[in-house]
Amino acid sequence: MPLFLTSDGVSLHFCDEGSGLPVLCLAGLTRNADDFAHVLPHLAGHRVIRLDARGRGRSDRPSDHSTYNVLREGHDAMELIDHLGLDRVAIIGTSRGGLIAMTLAASHRERLSAVVLNDIGPIVGVAGLARIMGYVGREPDLPNLAAGAKALAEAEARSFPGVPPERWAAEAAARWEETPDGLRNRYDPALHTALMQQSAAGALPDLWMFFEALREVPTGAIRGANSDILSAETLEEMQRRHPGLVTATVPDRGHVPFLDEREALGVISRVIGGSA
């Protein structure tokens, strides 16, 4: 199991597969490297590096929950790139992973060969943010992964219509682990405390500044048609501010597309290249 130690002493897990152009995959707030399992077969010809951010998946949980922030997690990503001896990488960033990619464009643009943002932009939908804050840190009251897959299918039926049961089974396994006492989240519940404290500390910085740092970087943006995080209006403004932005809206998807949809693969192929 590949691990590396961050400068503040946290052991992080990552997957490193294939060869070719390095592509670093950064997952969403509570998610992990397994989120990119669906797109992985479509990235043949690339070296795909999937990171479990601190406190998620198989990575260690830091004693200081204040380090659950985008800047520190971006620093972790850069330390992984340095650990692997890579000069430049492309990034596929889902949700929070996309926010991290934008901050890296502002601070380490020369290290980025391309960026694909998955259902995230400089304006985060209020309704979506409230929805996320409502579940972060809460353990599921579910006995096993089969029940978890069924619960996901029911909860997401409107935002993700027509998704087959086997996909929800894979999603359940990526999100939760089975224990004798039922399902448990595969992330540190202290994430909720960190979010609440950061929210109380004041307003977020202007994320447009970070997004505009991508103007000189080949960039794509993927939006779920039913997303409550990235609106069509925000995506349109992103295109105006980044004239070279490659975009697609994936029908029948909310937050976030799985990335193996035809529309999503089209963006990845145009921005990063390869067999996607």
Domain span at 239: 3-126+205-272
Cα–Cα dist 211/171, whole Å: 29
Q: Is residue 161 part of a domain?
A: no
Cα–Cα dist 73/53, whole Å: 7
Cα–Cα dist 182/151, whole Å: 14
pLDDT digits (tens, 9 = 90+) for 93-141: 999 999 999 999 999 999 999 999 999 999 999 999 889 888 999 999 9
Mean pLDDT value across residues 222-235: 98
Q: Is residue 131 part of a domain?
A: no
Q: Which two tokens stand for residue 39?
A: 């797109």
Mean pLDDT value across residues 237-247: 97
- In this prediction, residue 276 carries a pLDDT of 47
pLDDT digits (tens, 9 = 90+) for 54-98: 999 999 999 999 999 999 999 999 999 999 999 999 999 999 999
Q: Give me the percent of the chain exceeding a pLDDT of 90.
A: 92
- In this prediction, residue 129 carries a pLDDT of 87
Which phi and psi angles does 92 have, rounded to 5°?
-105, 115
> What CATH number does the domain containing 73 carry?
3.40.50.1820
- In this prediction, residue 273 carries a pLDDT of 81
Q: Is residue 192 part of a domain?
A: no
| pLDDT of 1 higher than 90 | no
- In this prediction, residue 203 carries a pLDDT of 59
Q: Is residue 144 part of a domain?
A: no
Q: Is residue 28 part of a domain?
A: yes
Cα–Cα dist 169/143, whole Å: 14
Q: Is residue 267 part of a domain?
A: yes
Domain count within the chain? 1
Q: Is residue 9 part of a domain?
A: yes
Cα–Cα dist 137/241, whole Å: 36
Q: Is residue 43 part of a domain?
A: yes
